[in-house]
C-alpha cells in the first residue's frame, strides 16, 4: 500500500529524471572541422576574403507541439530542424560603429526537439497561478472586448529555468561561466499552451491529474473555442507588454498563445510589432475548404514563419552585432562615476532613496562581462557644476531644441519645440575645456591600444639586420595546447618572452543631476543616456515621468528621469562589453542601424520597453565573446595587411630581365611562378625574397592555422577563458610578425635598387698631358706623310 501511495505521488510530479529528458548532442564540431580548416587555410595562404568560421549551436525546444498543446497541433521537429539548416545556415555579425561586417561568421548548428507532456502541464499550472486581471482588451480579428490578464515574467521565469536545467541536465550547475567545464546550451523555448486548460476563471480543472493522463481529443466545436475568450500577455519587471521575452539565464521564451501584442513607435512603421508579426495557430487550423487552401500549405507557411522568427532571434539576441569596435588589452578597468549637479537638494550617491545609485550592483554586473585576470574598480564622487564653470558652459552649449509635430485628441497636428541635450556636442565641449575633471579623464579614456601593452624584453640574441626576428623566438602561444589536461603547469618566465604591461583603461561616467530644467528634458532620440567608445553620459533630474513617442498596446510609454541606475548600466554594457541593444541591427542597404522592437523587452537595460537593471546571462556570454571577436578580427586584418604588403613587393620586383611580369600557367600566381623559375633552379639573379623569410612565414601561417581551428573549437565548447588567452597570444604574435615583415621588406627593397647616383670631384693627373702629347705627335706625322706623298714632289 505504501508503495502504491508513493508511486501515485511521484506520478503527479514533473521534471522527473526517471522519464528521461530528450537527448542533447553536443558534437557538431567534428562534422564541420574540415570545412573550418579549409576556410582558414584559404584565408591565410591565398588571401581569400573568407571569414573565420565559428560554429554556434542553437537549441529549439518545442513545448506543446506534440498533440498535447493548443489545438492539439503537432509539429515535426526534424522537419523544422532541416528547414533551419537549409534556409539559415550562417550568420555574420557587423559592427554598429563602423557599419562593416566582422571577419567572423557563425556556422549555425540547430537542434530541435519536443518537451514532454508533464513539463507542459507544469508550465501551464505556473502560468495560470501568475495571471492577474488587467481590465479589458479588444480582439484583433473580430473587435470583441475580452478579459485581459497579465503575467509577470519574473514570476514564471523559475519554472522555465527548471525546464532548462531538466532538459540539459544542468541541475547542479550555477550561472557562472568560470565554474563550468562543460558546454553551455543556448535555448529558444517555443510554447503552445492550451488556453482552455489555463483559463484562470475555471477553477474546476485539475491540471495535476493531466500530467501523465491521456488528453481528450478535440471536436470541431472545441477547436473553435480554443482561444478561451480571454487574452493574456507578459510584462518583464513591469516593462512593456509582450509575448516574447529574454530570460535572465541562457534562454528566450516565445509564447504563440499569448497576445497578440502591439507596440512600437508612434507614427513610424519601422520595427513595429503587430498582430501579424508572430504566427498564430488560429490561422493554421482553418476549414479545409477555406479559399481553397489545403492543410499542407498552411503547415508549410507556419513552419516558414517559425523558422524566420528563430533566425530573427539569433540575429538580435543570441549573436547580435557589436556596438563598438573595441580592442581592450588592459588588465584593469577604472570606472569613475562622476555626478555633476547644479543644486544642493539631494545626492543620488546616498543610499536609501528610490533614485539612489547602487554602485555595488553596477560593479557586480560589469564584472560578469570581464574575463579572468581582469579587474574592475568603480569609484564615485559628487561635484558641483558651479565649481567647474567650464563644464557648466559645456552643458549650457549642448542644449538644443527641435520642432515636433504631434496629433492630439482633436485629430490635428500641433507643433511645439522640444528641448534635448546633445551628447556628442557635450563630449566635444568637455574635451576642449580646460577643466581637469573632464579633459584629464577623457584624455586617458582612449589609450593607445597597440604595441604599448605588449613590450619586448631584453632578447638573448643580438640583432643582426634582417636576419634577427621576433618570429625566431618562441611566442607565448607555442606552449599552448588546447588538449592539455586540467592540471596546467606553471609557466616559467624566460628572457625573450612577451610580457603584457598592466595598463589601465578609464571609462568615465558623467551623471548630470540637474534641477530647475525643462520637465521633459531628455537626450537625443528620446533617451536618457548617450555613449561613445570611451565615455558614458547620463541625464538625471527629479521631474515626473516623461511621455515618449512609443506605445505599448493603447498606452504610451514613459521615461523616469530620476532613475539613473538602468541607464548607467546600459551605457557601460555598450562600452565595456560591446553590447548592442537587442532591437538594433546594422543595415548595409540603409547605411544606418535599423530597429526591430520584437526583442525590446526582457532582462536587459536597453530601450523604452525595458525596465530592469540586470543583464541576461546570454548577453554576458555575448560580451565575453565580443572581446575575443575584436582581437581575432584585428589579428585577421593585420594578416591581410601583411599579405598585401608582400604581394605589393612581389608585383614590383618579380619580373623578367626585360621588365615583363613572369608568365606561365593561368592557375598559378606570379609569386608561385617566380619561385618555380628561380628558386627551384640555380640562378645568379638577385633574389627579392630571402629563403628564410618565406620559410618563417609559412611556418607561422601553419601554426596560426592550428591556433584558429583550436579557437573555433573552444568557442563552440563555450570555453571562453581558454579562447580569450588564445586570442591574446594570436594578436600579439600577429603584431610582431607584421613588424618583422615590414622590416625585412624595407631592407630587401633597399638591396634591390638597380641604380644609384654618386657625386665625386674631378681628379687631375699627369696622364692628361701625356695623352695630349701623343695626340699632337699623331697630327704631325699625318701631315708629314701627306706632304711627301704628293705626286708633284
CB atoms inside a 10 Å sphere around CB 245: 26
- What confidence tier does 617 reach under pLDDT thresholds 50, 70, 90? very high
Instruction: Indicate the angle between helix axes 77-87 and 295-313, nearest 10 degrees.
Output: 60
Please tell me the predicted confidence (pLDDT) of residue 679. Answer: 46
Angstrom distance (rounded) from CA 341 to CA 348: 10
Residue written as cell 548532442? 25
Gap between the terminal Cα atoms of the chain: 164
Please say whether the beta carbons of 563 and 546 come within 8 A.
Answer: no
490-499, 665-674, 738-747: range with lowest mean pLDDT: 490-499
- Residue 719 has a pLDDT of 86
Phi/psi for 605 (5° steps) reads -95, 15
Q: How is residue 498 written as a grid cell? A: 612577451
Average pLDDT, the chain: 78
pTM score, whole prediction: 0.81
State pLDDT tens for residues 243-277. Answer: 999 999 999 999 999 989 999 998 788 889 988 89
Q: Does residue 612 carry a pLDDT above 90?
A: yes
Contact 102, 629 (CB under 8 A): yes
Pairing of strands 498-500, 454-456: antiparallel
Q: What is the pLDDT of residue 293?
A: 45
Could you check whether the bond before residue 485 is cis, i.e. omega within 30 degrees of 0? Answer: no
Higher pLDDT, 446 or 110: 110
Distance between CA atoms of residues 329 and 324, nearest Å: 15
Confidence at residue 164, expressed as pLDDT on a 0 to 100 scale: 93
Alpha-carbon distance 628 to 711, whole Å? 10
Q: Are 243 and 601 in contact (CB under 8 A)?
A: no
Pick from 165-179, 327-341, 350-364: least confident: 165-179
Q: What is the pLDDT of residues 37-59, one digit of tens each?
A: 777 777 776 666 778 889 999 99
How far apart CA 4 and CA 99 sit, in angstroms, is 65
DSSP track, 65-115: TBTTSGGG-B--HHHHHHHHHHH--EE--BBTTT-PBPSEEEEEEEEEEEP
Judge whether 612 and 236 are in contact, CB under 8 Å. yes
Q: What contacts 607, CB < 8 A, 6 or more positions away?
A: 581, 582, 583, 597, 600
Query: What pLDDT score was predicted for residue 210?
Result: 81
Give 731-778 as a 3 state SS string.
HHHHHHHHHHHHHHHHHHHHHCCCCCCCCCCCCCCCHHHHHHHHHHHH
Q: With contact defined as beta carbons under 8 Å apart, do 231 and 141 qualify?
A: no
Say if residue 464's pLDDT is above 50: no
Task: Give the pLDDT band of residue 706 (cuts 50, 70, 90).
Answer: confident
- Of 548, 562, 558, 547, nearest to 515 by C-alpha is 562
Whether 69 and 127 have beta carbons less than 8 Å apart is answered as: no
For residue 273, the SS3 value is strand
Structure confidence at residue 125 as a pLDDT band (50, 70, 90): very high
Q: Directed axis angle between helix 153-167 and helix 117-130, to 10°?
A: 170
Q: What is the pLDDT of residue 689?
A: 58
Instruction: Flag whether pLDDT at 191 surpasses 70.
Output: yes
pLDDT of 400-434, one tens digit each? 888 877 777 777 777 878 889 999 999 888 887 75
Q: Which of 492, 447, 453 is nearest to 474 (CA)?
A: 492
Secondary structure class of 396 (helix, strand, coil): helix
Residue with cell 589601465: 504
Of residues 497 and 208, more confidently modeled: 208
* Inter-residue contact 501 to 478 (CB < 8 Å): no
What is the DSSP secondary structure assignment for residue 655, as one 8-state letter? B
- Integer Cα distance of 139 and 148 in angstroms: 10
SS3 406: strand
Strand 529-531 to strand 536-541: parallel, antiparallel, or no bridges (unpaired)? antiparallel
pLDDT exceeds 50 at position 368 = yes
pLDDT digit string (tens) for 578-607? 999 999 999 888 888 999 999 999 999 999
Measured between alpha carbons, how far is 235 from 244 in angstroms, rounded to an integer?
A: 10
- Non-local (6+) Cβ contacts of 312 within 8 A are 596, 598, 599
High-pLDDT (> 90) share of the chain, %: 32
Quick one: DSSP state of residue 64?
Answer: S
User: What are the φ and ψ backbone dihedral angles of 704, each rounded to 5 degrees?
Assistant: -65, -35
pLDDT of 772: 77
pLDDT for res 654: 60
- 622-643 tens-digit pLDDT: 999 988 888 888 888 888 888 7
pLDDT over threshold 90, residue 103:
no
pLDDT at 776: 86
Amino acid at each position: 500500500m505504501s508503495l502504491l501511495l508513493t508511486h501515485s505521488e511521484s506520478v503527479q510530479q514533473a521534471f522527473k529524471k526517471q522519464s528521461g529528458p530528450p537527448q542533447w548532442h553536443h558534437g557538431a564540431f567534428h562534422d564541420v572541422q574540415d570545412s573550418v580548416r579549409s576556410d582558414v587555410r584559404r584565408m591565410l595562404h591565398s588571401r581569400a576574403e573568407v571569414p573565420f568560421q565559428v560554429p554556434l549551436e542553437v537549441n529549439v525546444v518545442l513545448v506543446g507541439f506534440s498533440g498535447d498543446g493548443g489545438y492539439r497541433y503537432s509539429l515535426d521537429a526534424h522537419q523544422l530542424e532541416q528547414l533551419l539548416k537549409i534556409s539559415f545556415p550562417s550568420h555574420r555579425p557587423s559592427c554598429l560603429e563602423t557599419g562593416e561586417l566582422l571577419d567572423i561568421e557563425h556556422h549555425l548548428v540547430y537542434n530541435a526537439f519536443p518537451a514532454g507532456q508533464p513539463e507542459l502541464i507544469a508550465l501551464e499550472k505556473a502560468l495560470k497561478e501568475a495571471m492577474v486581471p488587467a481590465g479589458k482588451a479588444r480582439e484583433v480579428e473580430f473587435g470583441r472586448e475580452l478579459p485581459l490578464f497579465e503575467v509577470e515574467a519574473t514570476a514564471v521565469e523559475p519554472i522555465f529555468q527548471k525546464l532548462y536545467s531538466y532538459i540539459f541536465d544542468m541541475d547542479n550547475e550555477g550561472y557562472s561561466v568560470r565554474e563550468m567545464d562543460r558546454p553551455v546550451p543556448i535555448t529558444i523555448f517555443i510554447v503552445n499552451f492550451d488556453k482552455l486548460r489555463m483559463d484562470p476563471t475555471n477553477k474546476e480543472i485539475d491540471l495535476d491529474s493531466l500530467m501523465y493522463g491521456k488528453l481528450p481529443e478535440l471536436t470541431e466545436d472545441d477547436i473553435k473555442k480554443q482561444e478561451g475568450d480571454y487574452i493574456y500577455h507578459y510584462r518583464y519587471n513591469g516593462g512593456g507588454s509582450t509575448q516574447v521575452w529574454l530570460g535572465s539565464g541562457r534562454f528566450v521564451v516565445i509564447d504563440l498563445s499569448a497576445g497578440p501584442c502591439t507596440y512600437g513607435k508612434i507614427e513610424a512603421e519601422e520595427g513595429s510589432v503587430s498582430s501579424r508579426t508572430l504566427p498564430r495557430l488560429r490561422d493554421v487550423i482553418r476549414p479545409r475548404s477555406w479559399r481553397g487552401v489545403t492543410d499542407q500549405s498552411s503547415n508549410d507557411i507556419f513552419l516558414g514563419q517559425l523558422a524566420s522568427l528563430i533566425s530573427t532571434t539569433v540575429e538580435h539576441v543570441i549573436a547580435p552585432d557589436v556596438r563598438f569596435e573595441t580592442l581592450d588589452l588592459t588588465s584593469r578597468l577604472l570606472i569613475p562615476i562622476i555626478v555633476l549637479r547644479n543644486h544642493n537638494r539631494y545626492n543620488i550617491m546616498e543610499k536609501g532613496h528610490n533614485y539612489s545609485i547602487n554602485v555595488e550592483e553596477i560593479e557586480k554586473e560589469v564584472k560578469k562581462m570581464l574575463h579572468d585576470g581582469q579587474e574592475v574598480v568603480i569609484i564615485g564622487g559628487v561635484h558641483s557644476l558651479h565649481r567647474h564653470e567650464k563644464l557648466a558652459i559645456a552643458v549650457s552649449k549642448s542644449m538644443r531644441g527641435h520642432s515636433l509635430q504631434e496629433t492630439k485628441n482633436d485629430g490635428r497636428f500641433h507643433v511645439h519645440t522640444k528641448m534635448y541635450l546633445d551628447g556628442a556636442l557635450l563630449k566635444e565641449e568637455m574635451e576642449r575645456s580646460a577643466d581637469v575633471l573632464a579633459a584629464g579623464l577623457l584624455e586617458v579614456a582612449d589609450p593607445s591600444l597597440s604595441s604599448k601593452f605588449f613590450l619586448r624584453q631584453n632578447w638573448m640574441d643580438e640583432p643582426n639586420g634582417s636576419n634577427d626576428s621576433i618570429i625566431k623566438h618562441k611566442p607565448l602561444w607555442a606552449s599552448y595546447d588546447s588538449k592539455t589536461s586540467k592540471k596546467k603547469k606553471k609557466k616559467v618566465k624566460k628572457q625573450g618572452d612577451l610580457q603584457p604591461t598592466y595598463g589601465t583603461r578609464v571609462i568615465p561616467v558623467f551623471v548630470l543631476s540637474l534641477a530647475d530644467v525643462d520637465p521633459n528634458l531628455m537626450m537625443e532620440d528620446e533617451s536618457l543616456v548617450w555613449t561613445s567608445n570611451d565615455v558614458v553620459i547620463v541625464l538625471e533630474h527629479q521631474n515626473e515621468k516623461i511621455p515618449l513617442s512609443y506605445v505599448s498596446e493603447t498606452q504610451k510609454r514613459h521615461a523616469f528621469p530620476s532613475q539613473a541606475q538602468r541607464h548607467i548600466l546600459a551605457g557601460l554594457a555598450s562600452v565595456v562589453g560591446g553590447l548592442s541593444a537587442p532591437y538594433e541591427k546594422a543595415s548595409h542597404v540603409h547605411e544606418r542601424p535599423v530597429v526591430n522592437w520584437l526583442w525590446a523587452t526582457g532582462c536587459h537595460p536597453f530601450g523604452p520597453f525595458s525596465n530592469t537593471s540586470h543583464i541576461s546571462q546570454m548577453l554576458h556570454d555575448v560580451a565575453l565573446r565580443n572581446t575575443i571577436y575584436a582581437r581575432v578580427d584585428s589579428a585577421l586584418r593585420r594578416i591581410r595587411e601583411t599579405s598585401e604588403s608582400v604581394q605589393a613587393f612581389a608585383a614590383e620586383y618579380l619580373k623578367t630581365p626585360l621588365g615583363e611580369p613572369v608568365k606561365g600557367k593561368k592557375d598559378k600566381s606570379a609569386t608561385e611562378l617566380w619561385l618555380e623559375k628561380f628558386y627551384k633552379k640555380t640562378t645568379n639573379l638577385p633574389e627579392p625574397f630571402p629563403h628564410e623569410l618565406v620559410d618563417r612565414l609559412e611556418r607561422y601561417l601553419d601554426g596560426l592555422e592550428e591556433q584558429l581551428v583550436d579557437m573555433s573549437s573552444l568557442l563552440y565548447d563555450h570555453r571562453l577563458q581558454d579562447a580569450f588567452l588564445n586570442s591574446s597570444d594570436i594578436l600579439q604574435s600577429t603584431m610582431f610578425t607584421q613588424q618583422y615583415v615590414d622590416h625585412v621588406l624595407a631592407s630587401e627593397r633597399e638591396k634591390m635598387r638597380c641604380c644609384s647616383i654618386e657625386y665625386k670631384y674631378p681628379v687631375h693627373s699627369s696622364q692628361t698631358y701625356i695623352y695630349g702629347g701623343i695626340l699632337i705627335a699623331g697630327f704631325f706625322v699625318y701631315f708629314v706623310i701627306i706632304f711627301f706623298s704628293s705626286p708633284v714632289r
